[in-house]
Amino acid sequence: MLQALAQDEGLRATAGLWRARDFARGSPAALAANGIGTGFPALDALLADRGWPRAGLTELLCPAWGIGELRLLAPALATVSTTEARWIAWVDPPFVPYAPALAAAGLDLATVLLVRAEERAEAFWALEQAMRSGACGAVLGWPGKMTLAETRRLLLAARKGGAWGCVFRSPAAQREASAADLRLRLTPSADERLRVDLLKRRGGWPVENIALDVSAPERGESP
């Protein structure tokens, strides 16, 4: 892990090196971080918008449920739910999002929109509609296998609706192309930490092995 980080640091220190991120920083509007703060400073520092992309598609490649995949998102979801009058849509989740735990994580439950679908096609349709509508600040989906064209549709929908689209996929999807702005691979470890690999990010190379302590996110970082 350190090697990758050190490499990145080394590149940053190199004078005269053009970096895509500097380009984005050039305009005054882009000076302010416009992502949704993840609540994990180590992660924010590596993301183009200093947080989750506000109007784009994020992919989380997740080998099993219950490894901290929701705790990773919880601080940002809490920010969205308490600063926007928009819904946080959960489209056909694999289990029941447990209300007392969500509330304890700081989410306003009234902003949770739980969508149940009977078939995969309906779930994907609902996911796209929720992202496109402009009524949702964040949209979480568990669409299963997706084609490149489908990821592109979701990306466009999230752009149009200004939604933080977030889909959970199997690690096998790593080998497939995706239009998502941001791809993360999550790996649990024995020491309660969640290992995050940034497989794809805007304005940067892949970064591997970021260890996040999801049991105690630093709260209070709202954009």
Partner 1 sequence: MIKMANTPVREGASREQAVVPSAEAAEAAEEDSSARRRDSQASRCPARDGCQPAHAEGAWLAVCFPMLGLEVHFLEALGAAEAVDDAPTVLVDEGRVAQVDAGARQAGIRIGTTLATAHSIAPGLRHFQRDRNAEHKRLEWLGLVAYRFSSRVSLEPPDALHVEARGSLRLFGGLRALVTEINARYRRLGHATRIAAAATPLAALALARAGFDEPRPAPHSTSSPHPSPVFPSLPLRQVPLAGIGLPPQEVERLTNMGIRRLGELLDLPTRELGQRFPSTLVDYLHRLTGRKADPRRPIALPERFRFSAHLLEGVHSKDALLPPMRRVIARVATKLAARGLGARRLAWTFTALSGATAAVQVGLAEASADAAAFLRLSQLRLERVALPREVMSVLLHAELVTPLLPPEADLLGDLPGMRGDGSATAKKRAELADLLAARLGDDAIRTLATVDDHRPEAAWAATPVVYRTLRPAGKPADAAAKPGARPLWLLDPPQPVSVRRFALRDTLERIETGWWDAAQARDYHVAKTKSHARCWLYRDHRGRWFLHGYFA
Q: Which stretch binds partner 1 (CB under 8 A): 9-17, 51-59, 93-101, 205-213?
A: 93-101
Residue 76: other Cβ atoms inside 10 A:
27
What is the rounded distance in angstroms from the CA atom of residue 53 to the CA atom of residue 143? 19
Please tell me the count of residues contacting partner 1 according to CB under 8 A.
55
Least Å distance, CB 209 to partner 1, is: 16
Radius of gyration for the alpha carbons in the chain, expressed in angstroms and rounded:
17
What is the rounded distance in angstroms from the CA atom of residue 36 to the CA atom of residue 58? 12
Which C-beta is closer to partner 1: that of 97 or that of 204? Answer: 97
If one asks whether residue 142 binds partner 1 (CB under 8 A), the answer comes out as: no
Least Å distance, CB 29 to partner 1, is: 22
Among residues 99, 148, 172, 177, which is the contact residue for partner 1, using CB under 8 A?
99
Among residues 102, 140, 154, 157, which is the contact residue for partner 1, using CB under 8 A?
102
What is the rounded distance in angstroms from the CA atom of residue 18 to the CA atom of residue 86? 38
What is the rounded distance in angstroms from the CA atom of residue 184 to the CA atom of residue 204? 13
Q: Which stretch binds partner 1 (CB under 8 A): 11-19, 95-103, 152-160, 173-181?
A: 95-103
Alpha-carbon torsion (142, 143, 146, 152), positive or negative: negative
Q: Which stretch binds partner 1 (CB under 8 A): 10-18, 31-39, 148-156, 182-190?
A: 182-190
Which C-beta is closer to partner 1: that of 169 or that of 201? Answer: 169
Which C-beta is closer to partner 1: that of 116 or that of 145? Answer: 116
Show the CA angle centred on residue 132, arms to residues 23 and 120, nearest 5°: 115
Which C-beta is closer to partner 1: that of 48 or that of 140? Answer: 140
Least Å distance, CB 190 to partner 1, is: 7
Q: Among 169, 171, 139, which Cα is nearest to 154's?
A: 139
What does the per-residue mask of binding to partner 1 show for 62-91, with x meaning CB under 8 A? -xxxxxxxxx--x-------xxxxxx----
Residue 93: other Cβ atoms inside 10 A:
17
What is the rounded distance in angstroms from the CA atom of residue 76 to the CA atom of residue 70? 10
Which C-beta is closer to partner 1: that of 130 or that of 198? Answer: 130
Q: Answer for the pair 87, 209: CB distance below 8 angstroms, yes or no.
A: no
If one asks whether residue 7 binds partner 1 (CB under 8 A), the answer comes out as: no
3-state secondary structure of 207: strand
Interacting residues toward partner 1 by CB under 8 A: 63-71, 74, 82-87, 93-118, 122, 125-126, 129-130, 133-136, 188-190, 215
